[in-house]
Chains A and B, each alone.
Chain A
Amino acid sequence: MPSNENRQRAASARTGWALSAPALLLLGFAASGPLLIVLVYSFLTPGDYGNVVWKFSLDGWRGILFTRDIFDGTLHLADANLTIFWRSVKLSLLTTAITFAVGFPTAWFIATRPAKSRALWLFLITIPFWTNLLIRTVAINEVIRNEGIINTLLIWTGLITEPLRIIYTDTAVLIGMAYVYLPLMVLPLFAAIDRFDMKLLEAGYDLYASRWQVLRRVILPIVKPGIVAGSILVFVPSLGAYVTPRVLGGGKNMMIGNFIELQFGAGRNWPLGAALSMTLLIIVTVALLFYVRAANRGSPHG
């Protein structure tokens, strides 16, 4: 009897929910708990030695964009904060673009190797993950600083007389982030290209497409899920990056991550730090929504 069957199915579904309830509760609490705490803190008043005082205030959120004049108490747009936001978004977008430009040919190269050597190449790509992020970043520092490997070599060969000033600039942060996040771009791209049917290249050429058209009209639309995944995996952590801008950007070239840390540390303004954290979360969510929407809009015809 169908109704009986339905009832059975509903019952087994209920049992399923009941059995997973403890895990779901734990997960839900672990995901939303800290977030809730941060949200609540953003509406409180900073204490004198850090921490918070349980008194409602919007100053945390106001502090994201405005500063209060010490003398007359009027609000001004906080240029420094805007610069930090803009730098974070700009550097993250550039990092995504650079890792894609370098990662796509790399992933293509690996995916077109014979099956045996492919495993080795993938293994090589993941080697940097074996080392602590801080150590990798300090290593980059060693390469690009004024007395570092690059400058020493260039001066020794006589190409330049003064060291190139890379360290403690946005460029240094960009180099560092592109290096650190490159594998996160390569791996999803590889997975997508690996599934790509190479016969389609011949089909494209056969139907009068130039190399460029084959790339744009055949390869890119088909491996798009890999591009989307790689971009998200690089963009999101770039936006919240802390170690890389700290080590390679020096104190001046802060990104959102460093700015937040500052509020919880020397700044002693936890509500502002909490509000900044929520803002970062909102920026990432909105950016992702836009990106996924645009990516799903389909091929040039569709």
Chain B
Amino acid sequence: MSKDVAVEVRNAVKAFGQGDSAVRALDDVSVDIRKGEFFTLLGPSGCGKTTLLRLIAGFETPSSGQILLDGKDITRDPPNRRPVNTVFQSYALFPHLTVAQNIGFGLEMQGRPKAEIAAVTANMLALVQLGPMAQRKTSQLSGGQQQRVALARALAPRPKVLLLDEPLSALDLKLRKEMQIELKRLQLETGITFIFVTHDQEEALTMSDRIGVMSAGRIRQIGTPRDIYTRPVNRFVASFIGESNFLSGAVETGGVRLSCGDLVEAAGTEGRSGKVTLAVRPEQVRLTRAGEPGALPATITDWVYFGTDTHCHLALSDGTEVVARLQSPATGDAGLEKGKAVALRFAPGAAQVLGD
């Protein structure tokens, strides 16, 4: 294991319930999270994100597998012995304590000296811009302010890893955007490893250093936002993050022969043969003149105007549907007419062969 890994999850399985009614919330999950990175777990509701986070925090123990922190096995350690803190989705602030007392709670439980607690609390209050609120009860704060207290409380003991379970989902859109920037700033300033859970793909793409995409208790792909978006490894990832056209074909020398009979260039054909599925992002589909190299004949079936761009629905010669997202021209309708025969091509490198 290399030295720059903060958390290592090895073949973690978590089953709830017994026998036939057992649910496998996590099904053989392995992932390395690097020191100081902003790592996001992204997936639909019920895919096991919270369960994985609770395993790392220590609120659950895995049915099998291991959790390592800085190379040390912490699988059986209780939460209060793990230098890992959580920002809860519901914030879970202590209602009987003031803002400052909430923030100092972790340090106090660690038995740090009073002077240190006061100093760190003051720093944290400044960091989350809540200085004037120090003596308030948490019930007197707005949702965004409570969120900041929860963050400051979890950061104050300087954990090795900070876990955040959909911390922004309770906030309205404007506040959420602000907090996204705020979170990123806090992560850079503190240098603490963040493991962030969300089901919002945009949040994941804009904030993360790396993303782990989950579905049905498994991690389907791990990579940078650009990797995940441009090189999805399977159909789930390609459709969960952004939109994709899916085309079936067979691998040949020089590319993939589509079901409509045309040959197109595609990434990811190495080591593949036989039938495959290709994914192409709608914004990588262009209209072009018939007869150009790589041009596929198609018919316009419909188009929808969205302002900045126009979605053009096309049918290939065998009826396969393809959506192209075209930039709307300054004036006019770009000559889009239902039933018109056109040709389309994929931008270079845009077609990606998917695995299973």
Contacts and interface: CB of A to CB of B under 8 A. Distances in A.
Given A206-B86, A207-B85, A209-B80, A197 B101 contact: no
B80 A208 contact: yes
B229 interface: no
Given A199-B90, A202-B88, A301-B101, A208 B96 contact: no
Q: Which range contains the number of A residues in contact with the other chain? A: 10 to 19
B157 A208 contact: yes
B71 interface: no
A222 B97 CA distance: 10
Given A199-B90, A213-B109, A299 B79 contact: no
A155 B129 CA distance: 72
Contacts of A204: 105, 109
A207 B92 contact: no
Contacts of A200: 92, 94
Interface string A181-225: 000000000000000010110111111111001000110011000
B258 interface: no
Q: Which range contains the number of B residues in contact with the other chain? A: 20 to 34
Interface in B81-113: 84-86, 88, 90, 92-98, 101, 105-106, 109-110
Contacts of A218: 94
Contacts of A301: 97-98, 101
A206 B86 CA distance: 7
A203 B88 contact: yes
Contact of A202 (B84, B92, B98, B109): B92
A197 B92 contact: yes
B78 interface: yes
A299 B80 CA distance: 22
A208 B97 contact: no
B57 interface: yes
B59 interface: yes
B109 A209 contact: yes
Contacts of A299: 96-97, 101
Contacts of B78: 205
A124 B110 CA distance: 42
Interface string A113-133: 000000000000000000000
A207 B106 contact: yes
Contact of B85 (A197, A206, A213, A221): A206
B164 to A, nearest CB: 12
B153 interface: yes
Nearest to A197: B92
A299 B104 CA distance: 14
A190 to B, nearest CB: 19
A203 B94 contact: yes
Count chain B CB atoms within 10 A of each CB in A200, A204, A207, A209 and give the residue with the most: A207
Nearest to B95: A222
A203 B109 contact: no
Contact of A206 (B80, B96, B97, B110): B80
12 contacts: A200-B94, A202-B86, A202-B88, A203-B92, A203-B94, A205-B58, A206-B59, A206-B86, A208-B109, A209-B105, A213-B109, A301-B98
Interface of B: 57-59, 78-80, 84-86, 88, 90, 92-98, 101, 105-106, 109-110, 153-154, 157
Q: Ordered nearest first, which 10 A-B pairs have the shortest CB separation? A: A207-B106, A203-B92, A208-B109, A199-B92, A205-B79, A209-B109, A221-B96, A208-B80, A206-B86, A208-B110
Interface of A: 197, 199-200, 202-210, 213, 217-218, 221-222, 299, 301
Given A199-B90, A206-B80, A301-B98, 14 more contacts: A197-B92, A200-B92, A203-B88, A203-B94, A205-B59, A205-B78, A207-B85, A207-B157, A210-B109, A217-B109, A221-B96, A299-B96, A299-B101, A301-B97
